[in-house]
Structure 1
C-alpha cells in the first residue's frame, strides 16, 4: 500500500517571483518579512529544509516558481496538480448589470472590496433590504455575502450555484464563485462564518484524475474539492479552520487504509484570516501553531511520502489586501526523487505520479 500527504499552506510564499512587478508585487516576501520583522522561528519546518539544511531523515527542499498567469488560489492549486494556465482567469472591477440580472439580483455593492470592509459598509443595508452583497477583488472571484440566518445559508449556496451556471453558460472564465455567509446584527458585530463554499470553474484533466484512473483514492481536506469542482476527488472532508484541518489530517493518516491513497489538504487560515487582513502578528502565530503541530506529526510519517508547499503569496506587509505573486517553498520527506529547485509548480504532480507508479 502506498500513500502520500500533500499539505498546501495557503499563501505562504517565500519571495517575489521574477515577474512580480507585472502584478504590482515587487518586493513581496511573505515568509522573509515574517522571519525578519516578527522574530519568527519554525524549527520543525526547518527540519524539512525551510531556510536551512534539512535534518529530518530523507527530507529535501526546493523553491518553485509559478508558470501560470495569475496569482490566485485556483491557478496555484491547478498548477500543483499539473495544469499550467497560459491565459489568466477573467477579472472585473464590477460586474455587468445584465449578468447580475440573470443571476438573480437585486444586489448591493458590485465593486472590488475587502470582504470585512464591505460588511461594515453594506451589512446593515443588507439586513434592511434582504438584498445579497456582490463584490470582487484583484483575484478572479465573484463573491456573494448574505446573513447566514436572516437570508439563509441554503439560499445563499443556491444563489452561488446559479451564478456559477450563468458564468459557465456565458463563457466567462471566473475562477471561483464564493459564498460568504456572515452573522451579527450591526456593523460592529458582523463576522464571517466558516460556512463559506467555493464554486470553481471545472479544471482540465489533472493528476487527481490520472491517479483515480489507476486505482488511487484521492481524499480532499479543506477546500480542495471546491477548488477542483469535485473533479478527481474520491472523498471530501471540508474543514472550518486550520486546527480542524490538522485534526482531520491526523485522523485520516491514522486509518491506515489498505488501498493506495493521496490525502490532499489545504490550510486556509494563513490567507483568509491574516494575509488578506494584513495582520503580520496573527500570520506569524498561525505559522507557529502549524509548526508545533508538525513537530508532533512528523514521527508518524515513517517511510510515507510527505509534501508541504503553498499556492501563492499574501505578504501581510505588502500594500493592498490581495495575494502577492511569489515563489513558494517545496518541503518533502521520502520523495521518490529529490525536488528540483526553480521548477514550476507542476513538479508536485510529477512527484506524485512517480510515487504511485
Structure 2
C-alpha cells in the first residue's frame, strides 16, 4: 500500500533510544503483541513492511502464542506457528506453559534448532480455558512455580544466546496483584525484558489500562527494559505512554488489528517525525487483498483456508469507512481470492474517515470474574496435588 500521509516529514530528536533485548538491538522500541489467530506470518509481514522505515530492525513482531507441550510433541500446527519467513529478523516466538520441565524443553527446541532469535513467556492470558487450570495471568500467584518456569526457560536458552522475556498482567484482580514481585523475580533470573499489560485478569480487556502501574514496574525493575502494553490505539498514545511511565518501549496488540500501517506511524513517532498514514478506502482494499494472498501462502496454497481465515479481519479493516452492510456481510463470507478481488473493487474509493477509523477495536467487553482452580487463591504455594492437573493447561496449541 502506498500510504496517504499528513503533516510534515521534518525529523526532530529521537524520542527513545533503540531497544536492547539481550544481544539484539531493536531500532524502533515497538513490539507487536502475540495474538491468537491474528499474528501469523501473513499479518506480521504487513506490519513489518509498514514499520520498515524504522531502521534495520524496526521492532519485534511476535508470533502467536504456542504451548510448550505442543512444541515438545512436535505438533504440526505448533511448528507452523514458529516457522518464520526467510526475511523475518529478528524472529520472535511466544511460549506458554505451566510445567517447568516442559517449558524448558520447548525453549531448548526453539533455541537449539534455530527456530527463533527471541522467546517470550506468556503470563498474561486472561482466557478462562487457560486461567481455570492455573495458567496465563493466574500463574504468577504461585510464586515458586513462576520462578521455576522462568528459570527453566532462561537456562534452556542461554547456551544458544537466545534472550527470554516475559509478558504479564498486573495480577488476578485488585486484591491479588503480582506484577511488581514477578517483575523483580524475572529480572533476577536473567530475563532480557519485562512487559506489562496494565490490566488485571478480572478486567479482561474492559475499561482503561492503568498506566501508572507501568511506571511503578519501571521503578522496581532497573537493569532490563520495561515495556508498556494497553490502550495504544495510535502513535500519539505510544508517545504519551512512554512520557507518563518512563517505559523503554511499547507493546501493541488490538490497536493494530485491521491497521498494520500503525507500525509506520509508530516508527515515525519514535524517530521524531510527524508523518502519519491515512489510507483511502482503495488503499485499505489493496492491503486486504495482499493480506489474502499472504494468508494463502501461509497455508501452503490452500486458498479456501487462507481466505476463510482472513474473514475475521474485515470489520477491523473497514472500521469507520462508508461501506454498506451488504458489502460488509459479503466480505465476511468470502471464500476465494477472485471473489475477494471482485468485492473489494466494488467498494470504490473514499478518503480517510479520520477519527472514525481509529480508536478502540477488537475485544473489550466488561470485567469478568476470573476462572481459577478451586482454592487457587488460598495460598501462594502450589499444592503438589495440583501439579499433574496444571499440565492439562497445555493441551491446546494456542490459548488466546
Normalised TM-score (structure 2)? 0.28
Higher share of residues assigned strand: 1
